[in-house]
Amino acid sequence: MYDIAIIGAGVVGGMIADTLAKYDLKLCILEKESDVAMGATRANSAIVHAGFDAAEGSLKARMNVRGSEMMKDVTTRLGVKYNNNEALVVGFEHERDEVKAIYERGLANGVKGLKFLESEELHALEPHLNKDLTCALLATTSAIVCPYELCLAAVGNAMDNGAELMLDFEVSAIDKNGDAYTVKAADGRTVETKYIINSAGVYSDKVAAMTGDADFTITPRRGEYMLLDKECGNFTQRTIFHTPTKMGKGILVSPTVDGNLLLGPTATDIDDKDDTSTTAEGFATIFAKASDNVADIPFNKVITSFCGLRATGSTHDFIIKEKDGVVTLGGIESPGLSSAPAIAEYVEEILGGINALGAKKTSYKAERRPAHYFRELSMAEKNEIIKKNPAYGKIVCRCEGITEGEIVEALTTNPAAHDLDGVKRRTRSGMGRCQGGFCSPTVVELIAREHGIPFESVTKFGKGSIINYGKTKGDN
Amino acid sequence: MKADLVIIGGGPAGMSAAVAAYDAGIRDIIILERDKSLGGILRQCIHNGFGLHRFKEELTGPEYAYRYELQVRERNIPFKLNTMVLDITPSKVVTAMNSEDGLFTIEAKAIILAMGCRERPKGALNICGRRPAGIFTAGTAQKFVNMNGYMPGKKVVILGSGDIGLIMARRMTLEGAEVKAVCELMPYSGGLARNIEQCLNDFSIPLMLSHTVVEIHGKERVTGVTIAKVDERRKPIPKTKQYIECDTLLLSVGLLPENELTKSANIILDRITGGAVVDQNRQTEIEGIFACGNVLHVHDLVDYVSEEAEIAGKAAAAFINGKHANDKSLKLVTDGKVRYTVPQCITACADVTVYFRVADVYRDVRIVVRDGDKVLVNKKKQKVAPGEMETVTLTKEMIEGVSTDTLSFSIEA
């Protein structure tokens, strides 16, 4: 019997697991995919929003402002890269009133460090902006963070403190028996638990329905992105938003913590909770809208494009509620990443209120070594490590400079990677300009070796995503 | 650590440069190779057709590489394997890393860049759809098949008719896969004519010119692709869309010289070749730093790589020995139909073979080299094509006699 089962290992579920891991609880995280961070967390804008967007008085506004305040400490503790790069909400002259309104709303939401900029100051800050932009809101608390890196670190830290992660666990039914619940997976596995946290992202309405709650629905909103080579990472220093519309914050241009330039997202509501395909219309929209804000973007430096789904809820605010020991988190769309630490804190408060938490552990370890510690070391420090473990002297991914030692670490530390994309998200191996062309056969070999599985059983991202079909004629 | 000559890359270019430098009297040489043995990409090119020019016989890639490896070994030229160069500076300090030595630096008198090239990945193409398993560059598939001994696909569509794509069409077929089509965006193939004959026509694999892949289908593994014909602006024509069922999409859509290190030394790159701007000695704008092989510009035949690397090796030796004449300063300019030349400039009076590629297929034309109004070379060609590198040899006398400061290269009727 578990005390708490968290359904969904995205950044929200992960941050909750990390927060609850300090209690003396039997905790499990149930994830339908073959890795954590596979839903909205995998593909979003990677921004820690300052908090000026959400309507005054909304749960979104409260969680965003608080989450943004907490983020620096959380990322430091978990060893996750965080860059307070600031943001600009830019506008043309005819949009001046809207930019002003966002500024006022930010002040009302209690956002610190906001400043209204006129044309000259704006263009002095960011020389690549479209010259026709005449005003902007500067948000000095806005930051960037890698969402899946944060999720991996949070889940990893929870696991290091005793939480269990069950992958490929697609929840198909939830039965109540007395004071406890039985959570059933599609493959027949079951988990008995006293409390449930539903952080299932775009599927949170389905999971809520299994607990008898049909109060809300989630419409996936497709967001397509393009990522540019690291050569372009300094194209803008700040995250550049345009004045927002009803469908979201529009197409942004932003550096990433890893030094690439990110363009996107589009915003299209769709029915399929699984459809992460990119479209020709999406590419065209990104080209056009990104160019409204920033001039001369080197679109020929695109190294990849991808699509994520935001969990847009029917209430248009975050839904966070508890009933009969089930905490439901619905509609955690943007600014979900920014809010995640605050949501976790709020869930902790809710569970405390129903006496679900009990005493704290004496053995809890809050700090986590940064996943990317090796590459930050000095030459002498690296050589110390290489002397002890020669695998750290062997570069596997030449574009990003990732060593075999780092890849083996990704395959053996919590939460361990099981597939090619899992290694990529943990180490950046295959994320560079050649996009895995050179390193993927070697990474496949390392996965097979470390997990003791046949070469042809290694997948790209679990389930049917096989990479090789079997041996060649001569090798049979 | 110090060395007279550091060669970055132990593929055909690096090995050939090392041998040439050694034979010109340099002994303190070190080759740094990132892979576990010498040979570079030739190790996975197990088909034949290499060495026709150099050795007058048909060798496989590994055989060709081994001939040079023997020459390196006979001379006892030192090399370090599994060694990745991470940085070079304009003052010729090389930083590298491997398991035995850890991170280390070498102060070099001269450096030869021979890092080769990489394939253009899918991301750069903006094809719609998800990102299922089953999309590989042709070279990655080649590594899986030839080095690992595994089959990355059974029903294959190939986008791009670069040589590796053509070679893999045949290779996958021989291994029992069904190659359904090779789609080429351009109205002509980017590969060698002999490869189209031997790798596609001999196996009845259709080459669909002016076609591209517009969408990839499948969630976990590729289940098919939608292809379409493109108009003269290379835009897909919607009504020509057709679905092809397949489990694999191989990409052979261009090779890019791998010049991250060159950039780290602040060396100017040619916008068209993607490699350094060099003189006839393959010296970059930084004295004592040379480049050769596919890192300089992508070659069709390894034979030419070896030839070019010998030039760089000899020149590096001359530089180290302080015998480096600069008695001329000519810029080579092109008319657009000639896309680029290597070298891009000439700094001494000597016989110089100029390599170049053309922008399109042209028939019954003349390759013309001019010094102002004076025609130096006027060479008739039945056909020139982007997929086949062309050469023009300028004699020492011609270069001595040039009265202006530029030589212009053009394709004329």
pLDDT by position in tens, chain A (length 476): 999 999 999 999 999 999 999 999 999 999 999 999 999 999 999 999 999 989 999 999 999 999 999 999 999 999 999 999 999 999 999 999 999 999 999 999 999 999 999 999 999 999 999 999 999 999 999 999 999 999 999 999 999 999 999 999 999 999 999 999 999 999 999 999 999 999 999 999 999 999 999 999 999 999 999 999 988 999 999 999 988 766 666 899 999 999 999 999 999 999 999 899 999 999 999 999 999 899 999 998 898 899 999 999 999 999 999 999 999 999 999 999 999 999 999 999 999 999 999 999 999 999 999 988 999 999 999 999 999 999 999 999 998 999 999 999 999 999 999 999 999 999 999 988 888 999 999 999 999 999 999 999 999 999 899 999 999 987 65
Identify which of A386, A460, A473 has the shortest CB distance to residue B175: A473
* CA-CA-CA-CA torsion sign (B29, B34, B37, B40): negative
Please name the residues in contact with B43: beta carbons below 8 A apart, sequence gap of 6 or more. B35, B37, B61, B62, B65, B147
**CA distance to A171, A290, A466, per residue, from A167 (Å):** 11, 37, 18
Q: Tell me the residue ranges of DSSP E strands in A31-96.
A: 47-48, 82-83, 87-91
Closest CA to B47 of B138, B121, B132, B112: B138
Helix (H, G, I), strand (E, B) or coil at A21: coil
| Domain boundary, last residue among B205, B231, B253 | B253
Q: Which CATH number fits domain A82-145+221-270+277-308: 3.30.1180.20, 3.40.50.720, 3.30.9.10, 3.40.640.10?
A: 3.30.9.10
Q: What is the pLDDT along chain B (413 residues), one digit of tens a residue?
A: 999 999 999 999 999 999 999 999 999 999 999 999 999 999 999 999 999 999 999 999 999 999 999 999 999 999 999 999 999 999 999 999 999 999 999 999 999 999 999 999 877 778 999 999 999 999 999 999 999 999 999 999 999 999 999 999 999 999 999 999 999 999 999 888 999 999 999 999 999 999 999 999 999 999 999 999 999 999 999 999 999 999 999 999 999 999 999 999 999 999 999 999 999 999 999 999 999 999 999 999 999 999 999 999 999 999 999 987 788 899 999 999 999 999 999 999 999 999 999 999 999 999 999 999 999 999 999 999 998 899 999 999 999 999 999 999 999 99
Q: Which residue of A has its CA nearest to B84?
A: A395
Q: Are the beta carbons of A48 and A63 closer than 8 angstroms?
A: no
Q: Are residues B362 and B239 in the same domain?
A: no
Q: Which residues of B touch A378 (CB under 8 A)?
A: none
Task: Supply A328's token pair.
Answer: 């439901």
Distance CA B8, CA B221 (A): 38
Contact check, Cβ <8 Å, B34/A455: no
Element (H, E) at B201: none
Contact check, Cβ <8 Å, A305/B143: no
Q: Which residue of A has its CA nearest to B119?
A: A434
Q: Which residues of B touch A466 (CB under 8 A)?
A: 133, 220-221
Q: Which residues of B touch A401 (CB under 8 A)?
A: 84, 86
| Domain boundary, last residue among B324, B342, B363 | B324
Q: Which residues of A touch B126 (CB under 8 A)?
A: 226, 278, 283, 302, 305
Going by the DSSP 8-state scheme, the letter that residue A471 receives in this structure is B
Q: Tell me the residue ranges of DSSP E strands in A40-99.
A: 47-48, 82-83, 87-91
Q: Are residues B46 and B107 in the same domain?
A: yes
Active site residues of A: 49
Distance CA A63, CA A346 (A): 9
Q: Which amino acid is at B171?
A: R
If one counts every other C-beta atom within 10 angstroms of the C-beta of residue B266, the result is 11
pLDDT value for A339? 98
SS3 track for A219-232: EEEEEEEEEECHHH
Contact check, Cβ <8 Å, A433/B103: no
The length of chain A, given as a count of residues: 476
Task: Supply B87's token pair.
Answer: 């940085």
Distance from CA of A319 to the nearest CA of B (A): 30
Contact check, Cβ <8 Å, A278/B122: no
Q: Are residues B331 and B403 in the same domain?
A: yes
Q: Are residues B295 and B330 in the same domain?
A: no
Closest CA to B250 of B386, B147, B127, B388: B127
Contact check, Cβ <8 Å, B99/A391: yes
Contact check, Cβ <8 Å, A471/B150: yes
Q: Are the beta carbons of B22 and B303 closer than 8 angstroms?
A: no
Q: Are the beta carbons of B191 and B166 closer than 8 angstroms?
A: yes
Residue with tokens 């978990």: A78
Q: Which residues of A touch B219 (CB under 8 A)?
A: 274, 464
Whether chain A has a CB inside 8 Å of the CB on B89: the answer is no
**CA distance to B155, B268, B274, B283, B300, per residue, from B280 (Å):** 46, 16, 17, 7, 20
Q: Which residue of B has its CA nearest to A473?
A: B175
Q: Tell me the residue ranges of DSSP E strands in B252-394.
A: 255-257, 289-291, 330-334, 338-342, 345-346, 352-358, 362-371, 374-384, 390-394
Going by the DSSP 8-state scheme, the letter that residue A158 receives in this structure is H
- Residue A178, class by beta-carbon neighbours within 10 Å (0-12 exposed, 13-18 middle, 19+ buried)? exposed
Q: Which structural domain, as residue segments, surrounds residue B116?
A: 1-120+255-324
Task: Supply A248's token pair.
Answer: 């979201």
Q: Which residues of A touch B295 (CB under 8 A)?
A: none
Q: Are residues B47 and B127 in the same domain?
A: no
Distance CA B150, CA B132 (A): 19
Contact check, Cβ <8 Å, A463/B122: no
What CATH number should be reported for the domain holding residue B110?
3.50.50.60
Helix (H, G, I), strand (E, B) or coil at A44: coil
* CA-CA-CA-CA torsion sign (A222, A228, A230, A234): negative
Q: What is the pTM of this model?
A: 0.94
Distance CA B69, CA B137 (A): 27
Q: Which residue of B has its CA nearest to A383?
A: B102
Identify which of B124, B148, B154 has the shortest CB distance to residue A469: B154
**CA distance to A57, A77, A364, per residue, from A193 (Å):** 34, 29, 22
Task: Supply A225's token pair.
Answer: 């992105």
Helix (H, G, I), strand (E, B) or coil at A273: coil
Element (H, E) at A378: none
Identify which of A274, A277, A393 has the shortest CB distance to residue B98: A393
Q: Which residues of A touch B149 (CB under 8 A)?
A: 471-472, 474-475
pLDDT value for A434? 87
Helix (H, G, I), strand (E, B) or coil at A53: coil
Compute the CA torsion angle A302, A305, A311, A315 (nearest 10 deg). 50
Contact check, Cβ <8 Å, B220/A307: no
Q: Are residues B349 and B245 in the same domain?
A: no
Contact check, Cβ <8 Å, B150/A393: no
Contact check, Cβ <8 Å, A394/B131: no
Closest CA to B253 of B142, B161, B386, B135: B161
Q: Tell me the residue ranges of DSSP E strands in B218-324.
A: 224-229, 242-245, 248-251, 255-257, 289-291
**CA distance to A60, A125, A224, A241, B229, per residue, from A45 (Å):** 17, 22, 10, 11, 35
Helix (H, G, I), strand (E, B) or coil at A456: helix
| Domain boundary, last residue among B324, B351, B371 | B324
If one counts every other C-beta atom within 10 angstroms of the C-beta of residue A185, the result is 17
Distance from CA of B36 to the nearest CA of A (A): 10
Going by the DSSP 8-state scheme, the letter that residue B199 receives in this structure is I
Q: Are the beta carbons of B94 and B106 closer than 8 angstroms?
A: yes
Identify which of A438, A445, A464 has the shortest CB distance to residue B118: A438
Distance CA A434, CA A432 (A): 6
Q: Are residues B30 and B106 in the same domain?
A: yes
Q: Are residues B80 and B175 in the same domain?
A: no
Q: Within 13 Å, how many C-alpha atoms sit on residue A260's CB side?
A: 24
Task: Supply A187's token pair.
Answer: 């493959």
> pLDDT per residue over B18-52, tens digit each?
999 999 999 999 999 999 999 999 999 999 999 99
Q: Are residues B116 and B261 in the same domain?
A: yes
Q: What is B71-99 written as a DSSP string?
A: HHHHTT--EESS-EEEEE-TT-EEEEEET
Total tally of structural domains belonging to chain B: 3
Q: Are residues B85 and B127 in the same domain?
A: no
Q: Are the beta carbons of B158 and B168 closer than 8 angstroms?
A: yes
Q: Which amino acid is at B332?
A: L
What are the backbone angles phi and psi of residue B104, rounded to the nearest 5°? -145, 165
Angle at B399 between CA B396 and CA B401, to 5 degrees: 110
Residue with tokens 């530089």: B319
Q: Are residues B175 and B287 in the same domain?
A: no
pLDDT value for A246? 65
- Most A CBs within 10 Å, among B32, B84, B99, to test the A interface: B99
103-132 in B: which are within 8 Å (CB) of A? 103, 118-119, 121-124, 126, 128-132
Identify which of A226, A277, A437 has the shortest CB distance to residue B130: A277
Q: Are the beta carbons of A34 and A464 closer than 8 angstroms?
A: no
Task: Supply B315's token pair.
Answer: 């020149």
Q: Are residues B320 and B336 in the same domain?
A: no
Q: Which residues of A touch B46 (CB under 8 A)?
A: none
Domain residue ranges in chain A: 82-145+221-270+277-308, 373-470
Edge to edge, what strands does the sheet with B374-384 contain? Answer: B345-346, B330-334, B406-412, B362-371, B374-384
Distance CA A54, CA A175 (A): 36
Contact check, Cβ <8 Å, B149/A475: yes
Whether chain A has a CB inside 8 Å of the CB on B33: the answer is no
